[in-house]
């Protein structure tokens, strides 16, 4: 099962292999591999790096960029647009833009809920199903259903649960009259938590499937040996099953963090990410879909997102590509 | 080497008790475990019902005529059940048009992503070199970036790239179906390169040695030797990618400005606004939009799950 991705059987034959590419082979390879790499650089990595550069400019997207420092608008024509702004975009975000810290807090809470609730819940589902239950297949499909649905659709489906006048929850609670209704999605004190229920509804099923695959690779003899040694279920899990699932644990950790940073659709379909549902991803997007385009400022917010996302990405690459100490 | 059984990734957990391995200890513990087993069964049943409830309630709303729910509320025994909400939603909105846009984006994007990523993965796995490892990491990591990290410069780039009229009536990558195909294919292609390169390492090398002696070209070894061997992985990825690209909400929200070019998932917001006074029809629209993914859920769940776990289970 452990095979390093950097080594191949027969790689000592490198000299033969290089020689064996004919001129036609080389053309086909350059065109297809070159085109794919170029597309990846042009549309993903290029923009990621460009956002770092643009974050030091002040630009509304009209006219070009120039390398002179920004001056008060009016003093020089175009002096306050397309100009070098230094770190002022970051300073403005941190000190002069109230949604920023709300979004940072919401993203942090989102991660916390996923780490402490949704992900362990999904893992627990997987353990119970793997341990053997009568309707295992049914439970698995039911819990997995939300993973198939788009997040935008999940947002709409849950409005039938949460709507203050006709939603299922308020109907059951008898709180649908205007005098006593609970505005689950509108009240900024509670709407974030309502959304976290929706997000966890999907995340738990996702994590469950990943762990079910991981549990399959745990050698059953290990668990039996632990049981014969008198270990109880919890001890077997904590000392035997969990450590042997280390690769899947790291993947799930990466998925959890990345899904947190990507969170967008649910809040956007609910209320465009306002009024208690601010997220960094929404703030970035608002600068290009709105009437006023603030390319520099939006890029600065994107860079914040980029820097955080490099942590799970590095972790994933390290897990997948670092040479393993031993092979079996 | 992928540890997932492609034929049936969920096999060992599928059939309850028969999946449990018999142990000596098992017989002795059975009496003690019974209450725990019952608790587990009840817990899972409760969770499964809770998980299905939002979807089932939406279906219930969609099947009831508006007059009924206006009179008795949504939490009531249905007097009539009808499909007319679905029929009306289908007729009165542009839902067919949005569906067609989704097809126009999803099908080419999946095919392009699979073809290019299979070729790149084949090239990368032929020999180990620093360049190939770099390429592999670039493709893998690109897919992990949150979309919003790249969107601001990408938006400017899309505005700046001109397209001929037959590819885009807007004249640029921005606001064009073609632009959406490209970004979806590139973004998901990164994931496919990673999965397929892992999978290709399981194809026996001896096969290629024989072909090499016969003087087969790189293309022949890719197309006629490798592709047939990786069909299970391609099928799994095709299912996964179709679902993901169909479900994508963000790219079209950010890169398309005309409502008539939106795919169905991104059009849900405007459809919701269109029927704002008729919740029963919104429920019907939502479920119609879910039909393609529900079909995959019912028919191709195994493929979907193995695609998902192929990307995650590699020691």
Q: What is the ipTM, given to two decimal places? A: 0.87
pLDDT digits (tens, 9 = 90+) for B206-237: 878 888 777 888 898 899 889 998 999 999 99
Consecutive H or E run containing B154: helix B147-160
**Beta carbon pairs, A and B, within 8 Å:** 365
| pLDDT confidence of residue A61 | 83
Q: How many whole angstroms separate alpha carbon B292 and alpha carbon B243?
A: 8
* pLDDT reading at B254 higher than 50: yes
pLDDT digits (tens, 9 = 90+) for B123-178: 999 888 889 999 999 999 999 999 999 999 999 999 999 999 888 888 899 999 99
| pLDDT confidence of residue A78 | 61
| pLDDT confidence of residue A325 | 58
The shortest C-alpha distance from B153 to chain A (Å) reads 5
Position with higher pLDDT, B72 vs A299 = A299
What pairing do the DSSP bridges indicate for beta strands A57-58 and A83-84?
antiparallel
| pLDDT confidence of residue B17 | 41
Which of B122, B104, B124 shows the shortest CA–CA distance to B114? B122
Range A277-296 average pLDDT:
90
The shortest C-alpha distance from B208 to chain A (Å) reads 11
How many residues does the structure list for chain A?
328
Among B48, B150, B290, select the one facing A142 at the smallest CB separation: B48
Range A299-327 average pLDDT:
86
| pLDDT confidence of residue A198 | 96
Cα separation of the two ends of chain B = 8
| pLDDT confidence of residue B240 | 93
Distances A316 to A111, A302, B143 between C-alpha atoms, Å: 17, 21, 12
A13: confidence class by pLDDT, cuts 50, 70, 90 = very low
Among A3, A44, A309, select the one facing B186 at the smallest CB separation: A44
Tell me which of B1, B22, B152 to substitute to probe the interface with A (most A C-beta atoms closer than 10 Å).
B152
B315: confidence class by pLDDT, cuts 50, 70, 90 = very low
pLDDT digits (tens, 9 = 90+) for A235-247: 878 888 888 888 8
Distances A167 to A13, A26, B47, B184 between C-alpha atoms, Å: 67, 62, 20, 35
Range A5-16 average pLDDT:
45
Dig out the tokens for A256 from the structure: 């959890």
* pLDDT reading at A203 higher than 50: yes
| pLDDT confidence of residue A319 | 85
B-contacting residues in A 255-294 (Cβ below 8 Å): 255, 258, 261-262, 264-265, 268-269, 280-281, 284-285, 287-289
Q: Do B48 and A3 touch (CB under 8 A)?
A: no
Contact indicator for A204, B48 with CB cutoff of 8 Å: no
Q: Do A33 and B135 touch (CB under 8 A)?
A: yes
Tell me which of A10, A35, A40 to substitute to probe the interface with B (most B C-beta atoms closer than 10 Å).
A40
* pLDDT reading at B204 higher than 90: no
Q: Do A5 and B198 touch (CB under 8 A)?
A: yes
B121 touches chain A (CB under 8 A): no
A20: confidence class by pLDDT, cuts 50, 70, 90 = low
Q: Do A288 and B155 touch (CB under 8 A)?
A: yes
| pLDDT confidence of residue A176 | 80
Q: Do A161 and B154 touch (CB under 8 A)?
A: no
Among A282-291, B6-15, B82-91, B110-119, the least confident range: B6-15
Q: Which residue of B has its CA nearest to A156?
A: B286
* pLDDT reading at B266 higher than 80: yes
> Residues with Cβ < 8 Å from B48, sequence gap 6 or more?
A135, A138, A139, A142, A143
Position with higher pLDDT, B309 vs A147 = A147
| pLDDT confidence of residue B313 | 54
| pLDDT confidence of residue B1 | 35
Range B99-126 average pLDDT:
95
| pLDDT confidence of residue B207 | 79
| pLDDT confidence of residue A167 | 87
Residues of chain A neighbouring B73 (CB-CB closer than 8 A): 166, 171, 176
In degrees and rounded to multiples of 5, residue A73 shows phi and psi of -65, 140
Among B111-115, B162-166, B248-252, the least confident range: B162-166
Question: Average pLDDT, whole number, for chain B?
Answer: 85
Among A133, A205, A214, select the one facing B41 at the smallest CB separation: A133
Burial bucket for residue A109 (CB in 10 Å: 0-12, 13-18, 19+):
middle
Residues of chain B neighbouring A220 (CB-CB closer than 8 A): 21
Dig out the tokens for A203 from the structure: 């995340």
* pLDDT reading at B29 higher than 70: no
| pLDDT confidence of residue A77 | 63
Q: Please report how many Cα atoms fall inside a 13 Å half-sphere around the Cα of residue B216, on the Cβ side.
A: 17
Among B4, B69, B243, select the one facing A213 at the smallest CB separation: B4
Among A48, A146, A269, select the one facing B149 at the smallest CB separation: A48
Q: Do B141 and A10 touch (CB under 8 A)?
A: no
DSSP symbols for A234-280: HHHIIIIIHHHTHHHHHHHHHHHHHHHHH--HHHHHHHTT-TT---H
Among B74, B154, B266, select the one facing A47 at the smallest CB separation: B154
pLDDT digits (tens, 9 = 90+) for B46-64: 999 999 999 999 999 999 9
Q: Which residue of A has its CA nearest to B213?
A: A20
Q: Do A248 and B312 touch (CB under 8 A)?
A: yes
A184: confidence class by pLDDT, cuts 50, 70, 90 = very high
A-contacting residues in B 244-263 (Cβ below 8 Å): 246-250, 253-254
B117 touches chain A (CB under 8 A): yes
Give the three-state DSSP class for B128. coil
**B248-283: b or e for each residue (b if 16 or more CB lie within 10 Å)?**
bbbbbbbbbeeeebbbbbbbbbebbebbeebbbbbb
Q: How many whole angstroms separate alpha carbon B14 and alpha carbon B7?
A: 13
| pLDDT confidence of residue B14 | 37
A279: confidence class by pLDDT, cuts 50, 70, 90 = very high
């Amino acid at each position: 099962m452990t095979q390093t991705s950097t080594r191949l059987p027969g790689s000592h034959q490198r000299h033969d292999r290089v020689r064996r590419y004919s001129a036609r082979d080389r053309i086909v390879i350059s065109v297809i591999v070159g085109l794919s790499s170029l597309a990846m650089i042009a549309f993903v990595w290029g923009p990621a790096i460009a956002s770092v550069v643009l974050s030091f400019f002040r630009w509304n997207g009209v006219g070009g960029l120039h390398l002179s420092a920004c001056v008060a608008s009016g003093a020089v024509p175009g002096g306050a647009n397309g100009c070098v702004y230094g770190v002022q975009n970051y300073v403005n975000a941190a000190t002069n833009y109230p949604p920023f810290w709300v979004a940072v807090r919401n993203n942090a809470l989102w991660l916390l809920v996923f780490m402490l609730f949704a992900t362990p819940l999904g893992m627990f589902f997987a353990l119970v199903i793997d341990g053997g239950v009568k309707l295992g297949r049914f439970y698995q499909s039911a819990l997995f259903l939300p993973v198939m649905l788009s997040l935008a659709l999940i947002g709409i489906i849950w409005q039938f649960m949460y709507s203050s006048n006709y939603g299922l929850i308020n109907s059951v609670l008898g709180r649908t009259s205007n005098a006593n209704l609970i505005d689950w999605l509108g009240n900024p004190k509670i709407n974030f938590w309502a959304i976290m229920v929706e997000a966890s509804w999907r995340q738990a099923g996702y994590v469950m499937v990943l762990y079910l695959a991981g549990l399959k690779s745990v050698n059953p003899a290990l668990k039996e040996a632990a049981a014969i040694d008198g270990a109880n279920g919890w001890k077997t899990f904590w000392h035997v099953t969990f450590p042997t699932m280390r690769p899947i644990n790291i993947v799930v950790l990466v998925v959890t963090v990345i899904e947190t940073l990507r969170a967008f659709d649910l809040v956007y379909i609910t209320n465009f990410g306002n009024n208690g549902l601010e997220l960094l991803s929404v703030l970035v997007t608002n600068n290009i879909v709105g009437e006023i385009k603030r390319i520099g400022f939006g890029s600065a917010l994107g860079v914040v997102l980029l820097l955080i996302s490099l942590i799970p990405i590095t972790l994933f690459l390290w897990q997948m590509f670092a040479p393993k100490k031993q092979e079996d | 080497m992928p540890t997932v059984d492609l034929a049936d990734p969920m096999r060992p957990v599928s059939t309850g008790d028969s999946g449990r391995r018999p142990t000596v200890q098992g017989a002795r513990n059975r009496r003690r475990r019974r209450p725990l087993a019952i608790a587990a069964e009840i817990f899972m049943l409760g969770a499964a019902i809770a998980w299905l409830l939002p979807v089932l309630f939406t279906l219930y709303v969609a099947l009831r005529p508006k007059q009924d729910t206006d009179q008795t509320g949504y939490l009531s025994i249905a007097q009539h059940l009808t499909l007319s909400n679905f029929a009306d939603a289908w007729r009165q909105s542009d839902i067919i048009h949005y569906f067609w846009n989704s097809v126009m984006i999803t099908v080419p994007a999946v095919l392009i992503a699979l073809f290019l990523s299979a070729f790149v993965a084949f090239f990368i796995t032929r020999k180990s070199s620093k360049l190939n490892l770099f390429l592999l990491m670039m493709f893998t990591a690109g897919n992990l970036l949150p979309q919003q990290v790249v969107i601001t410069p990408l938006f400017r780039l899309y505005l700046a790239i001109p397209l001929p009229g037959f590819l885009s009536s807007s004249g640029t990558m921005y606001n064009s179906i073609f632009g959406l195909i490209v970004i979806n294919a590139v973004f998901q292609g990164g994931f496919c390169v990673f999965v397929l390169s892992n999978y290709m390492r399981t194809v026996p090398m001896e096969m290629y040695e024989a072909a090499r002696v016969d003087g087969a070209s790189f293309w022949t070894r890719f197309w006629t030797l490798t592709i047939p061997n990786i069909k299970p992985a391609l099928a799994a990825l095709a299912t996964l990618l179709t679902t993901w690209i169909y479900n994508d909400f963000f790219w079209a929200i950010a890169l398309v400005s005309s409502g008539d070019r939106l795919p169905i998932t991104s059009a849900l917001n405007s459809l919701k606004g269109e029927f704002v006074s008729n919740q029963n029809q919104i429920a019907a629209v939502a479920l119609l939009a879910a039909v393609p993914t529900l079909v995959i859920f019912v028919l191709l769940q195994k493929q979907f799950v193995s695609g998902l776990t192929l990307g995650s289970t590699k020691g």
